[in-house]
Amino acid sequence: MYIPFDQLPPQSRVWIYQASRPLTEAEQAEIERTMERFATEWSSHGKGLQSSAALLHGRFLVLANNEEATASSGCSIDASVRFVRELEQQLGVSFLDRTQLAFLNEGEVELVSVPELKAKVETGDINRNTLYFDTLITNYGELQQAWPRPAGNSWLSRYF
């Protein structure tokens, strides 16, 4: 069962997928329609999930499930990954590349490769206060309250 994204309970589980490039307006519109359709049909062992989906900052696919209503299972998570892979092929964009980190730089999403990170920290281009889109966030409440978050308040803190 689909529920509007802004009506998810704070404890809802989220999965965040980051696009490897900016998405065009046409791609964003298509993704939003497709994501809502997927969330409406998403199920776990034949039981519909109380789920939602959103495209944030024109770049991040967020799938969500109210785990208190119906817990997601390995099969339902596998179905969501298949869905994301289908989008990748359809659009010619990667959503599963975890070697790129996203930062908010002057109002724009900037991707930095993991190997580049240390140099960017050393030059001061990225510091502990630079806003970071942490794709490891796992619940809706944290997404609403602390996303993006200062890099120093994430797993990146070890670089500062």
87 shares a domain with 9:
yes
Neighbour tally for 71: CB within 10 Å:
14
Q: Are 51 and 19 in the same domain? A: yes
The residue type found at 83 is F
**Residue 103 · residue 126 · CB < 8 Å:** yes
Strand 51-56, strand 60-65: pairing? antiparallel
pLDDT of residue 14: 97
Helix axes 25-41, 74-91, angle to 10 degrees: 160
One domain, residues 40 and 86: yes
Structurally, the chain folds into a number of domains equal to 2
Residues 34 and 106 in one domain: no
Which among 68, 69, 90, 67 has a CA at the least distance from the CA of 77? 67
Residues 75 and 106 grouped into a single domain: no
pTM of the model: 0.90
Range of the domain at 35: 5-91
pLDDT, residue 2, reads: 87
Judgement on whether residues 47 and 79 belong to the same structural domain of the protein: yes
Write out the chain's pLDDT in tens, 160 residues.
889 999 999 999 999 999 999 999 999 999 999 999 998 888 767 777 889 999 999 999 999 999 887 778 788 888 899 999 999 999 999 999 999 999 999 899 999 999 999 999 999 999 999 999 999 999 999 999 999 999 999 999 999 9
Beta-carbon contacts of 153 under 8 Å, excluding residues fewer than 6 positions away, are: 146
In a shared domain, residues 106 and 87: no
Closest-CA residue to 70 (of 100, 43, 103, 89): 43
Same domain flag for 111 and 71: no
